[in-house]
A and B are shown apart, each in its own frame.
Chain A
Amino acid sequence: MTLTIAIPSKGRMQADSAAVFERAGLAIETSGDARTYRGRLVGDAIAGHTIEIAYLSASEIAREIAAGSVHFGITGEDLVRETIVDIENSVKLVKPLGFGKADVVVAVPDPWVDVRTMADLDDVAAGFRARHGRRLRIATKYWNLTQSNFASHGIALYRIVESLGATEGAPAAGLADAIVDITSTGATLTANHLRILDDGVILHSEAQLVLARCADWPNPVRSAASALMQALGITDQQF
């Protein structure tokens, strides 16, 4: 068995992930074919160990970590917390990597001048059915994050509308009343006349190096992982 690390297969996240290894004096070697989805990590610090790189889409990475089919992955904390329900037992967030920073937030139409906090949203949600004949609708792709955050504010009387893209457009289109979405600058929300609630940040997310607790960890994999963690400057080496 070989130590396997899943990293994003395209875009900024891929380049930023590769840079994390480069800074540690490690390089990713691919077979030369640009379309390959496998690579190998090489460098003096890990000489004698075999470490494979698997290129996957960001959301697949969280799933594969949860399933234990890779040992490490680099992906957004938002996807880890959304995809993996039993997070305490199945994974460990080893190191925040300083890129891919964005917030998962609750946002309402800006003209809702009476709604500044989650408590206000709770009031609106509670009276919604009597007034409009249906529950308040929240568009989001973050079902789990939304449910657990709303529950922590005691909000139960709402419905989630699944939104897989352009969530910020859902309120204007009449598909939802408010949204839970990820934003880095808030510019897209502002452009869509949406406003983040004062206490509406559910998660400050960034890319994380994530360890899969439920993967197989035979001794050769463990020692490869130790060498890798040392190269990355991670001192807390619990598996």
Chain B
Amino acid sequence: MARTPDLKNILTAGGATWLDLPVLHPADPFLETAGEEIRRRMFVTEGPTGARLALRPDFTIPAGLYHIASGSGPARYAYEGIVFRRHEAGDLSERREAGYEDIGDPETAAADARTLQLALAALAALGETGLVIRIGDISLFAALTAALGLPEPWQRRLRRSYGNDAAMAESLARLAANDEATNGPADPEIEALARDHDHDGLVACLAGRLAKAGFLTGTGRTAVDIAARYLDRQALAEFRASDSEISVLNAFLDLESGLEETPGKLRELASANDLDLGPAIDAFAARAQALKAAAGSVPIRFDGAFGRPLDYYTGLVFEIARNTDGTILAGGGRYDRLLDMLGAPELVPAVGLSLRLDRIGIKSAGSRP
């Protein structure tokens, strides 16, 4: 049941199916995709046969599961209802949201723009004016770490820290300091094999140790996995980013600008540091143009450090806030890796949005900062 008929009409105008999703869901898909951190924030209970069930903490995962179960091609979904999250004392544990998921469209820039436009249309229909949009894009940051030629494991670490300022600061400090020391007790056998780049010997040695210690094979990390990462780690230990590499990364993360100027600023950053970011910036510029058209007169700000530290978010993220008090009213992003994690047979491009109905239309609520 939609709060206003308008909202349902707006969210389904582009052909989206209106979903009526259950409140109780198996807890596992949430934990498996969003990780153990979300358990603190979920209300988990037990079904009659002991199955672990959760009050839905969000709609995206249930909608993704619905899409996979339906077995259909590209599709769009919209919904409205209550989500349940444990909060710090004083905040409500349930709140009303509406949302939209645009699943399977390979024209990602168009899908991103359509999603943003829908969020703005919904906010306008609910009486919200005076808005500002903030966007970020982890794929740009990933392109930057690749263009810098950082070792692959370091690229992964930095991507993982993206969107979490504390974690990013720590990762950059480690990247600069290189305290990746192999300071544990000496393991001469392993060290000798690694020094000789004897990959096969290393694997055989580790396989022997695993077997001797009685670890079952086929249930977790294998000798091949351990050997590969041991050699990676050696490479990491030998690597140390230069001051200029660190300052390029910081310059990108510190970048805050209007969307129109952003491609130019990115090109400046690339050419000043002799980095080949051409294709990534071109793709970003095309997306920026589509977003600009979708946003109309609502200003869009680019924030180099804005992202969500979950590994299924892969590209654009956005937030729409009131320009008076900064209250965030809507948010969304591209999550091309989620459907695959939920069990889809292949990678499925997808983007979505959610609307904070608990805040929309409520000006300067006294209890909320």
Contacts and interface: CB of A to CB of B under 8 A. Distances in A.
B271 interface: no
Nearest to B37: A156
A151 B37 CA distance: 7
A119 interface: yes
Nearest to B209: A111
A198 B183 CA distance: 9
Interface in B159-209: 160-161, 164, 166-167, 170, 174, 182-184, 187, 190, 206, 209
A111 B39 contact: no
B229 A157 contact: no
A172 interface: yes
Contacts of B219: 174
A111 B32 contact: no
A171 B66 CA distance: 34
B138 to A, nearest CB: 14
Interface string B308-325: 011100000000000000
A138 to B, nearest CB: 8
Given A116-B182, A177-B221, A111 B37 contact: no
B332 to A, nearest CB: 21
Contact of B153 (A110, A123, A158, A174): A123
B226 A154 contact: no
**Chain B residues touching A, majority SS:** helix
A147 to B, nearest CB: 6
Given A123-B157, A157-B311, A198-B184, A171 B35 contact: no
Interface residues of B, number: 44
A126 interface: yes
Interface string A93-125: 000000000000000011111101001101110
A173 interface: yes
B210 interface: yes
B341 interface: yes
Contacts of A111: 206, 209-210, 213, 215, 223, 226
Contacts of A120: 233
B369 interface: no
A116 B184 contact: yes
A160 interface: yes
Given A119-B174, A177-B221, A171 B36 contact: no
B216 A174 contact: yes
Given A135-B35, A154-B167, A160-B36, A114 B215 contact: no
6 contacts: A116-B183, A129-B341, A158-B35, A160-B36, A172-B215, A174-B219
Interface of B: 31-32, 35-37, 39-40, 89, 153, 156-157, 160-161, 164, 166-167, 170, 174, 182-184, 187, 190, 206, 209-210, 213-216, 219-221, 223, 225-226, 229-230, 232-233, 309-311, 341
The 6 closest A-B pairs by CB, nearest first: A174-B219, A193-B213, A114-B230, A156-B35, A154-B167, A111-B209
Given A113-B206, A123-B229, A174-B216, 5 more contacts: A111-B215, A114-B232, A116-B182, A157-B35, A160-B39
